Amino acid sequence: MKYAPKSVFILENGKYIEISYEELCNRAESDDAYKNKRFLPLYGMLMEVEENEYKQFYKTSRRQKYLEELSREKGDISFDMLTTDDFNGQDILVDTKTDALGNLL
């Protein structure tokens, strides 16, 4: 791990308790049950979650990364990319279809 988390929240008796990262490492060395626990990063901390929550988090994270990579490859743009201090991205992209009289449709 690049940086040790500030603190770790583990589930004990249905409630979260806060321990240090060093304490988690010590518990993992002495108790095999801690080796199978799953944690999610949360603002520089770790939070224990159930297996299905862990899988869903990383599935969603990987999907978002894939969509961003695909968008970059295709040269797609989003409203957010056009938003600046002076303009709102949604206002820049205006549908300019007009009818026979020149009225916007």
Predicted confidence (pLDDT) per residue in 49-91, tens digit: 999 999 999 998 888 888 888 877 877 666 565 666 666 655 5
Domain count, the chain: 1
Residues making up the chain, counted from first to last: 105
Q: What span, in angstroms and rounded, lies between the C-alpha atoms of 102 and 66? A: 41
89 lies in some domain: no
Instruction: Name residue 16's amino acid.
Output: Y
Claim: this prediction has a pTM higher than 0.85: no
- The range of the structural domain enclosing residue 31 comes to 8-74
Taking the C-alpha atoms of 94, 95, 97 and 98 in order, what is their torsion angle to the nearest 10 degrees? -50
30 lies in some domain: yes
Q: What span, in angstroms and rounded, lies between the C-alpha atoms of 24 and 28? A: 6
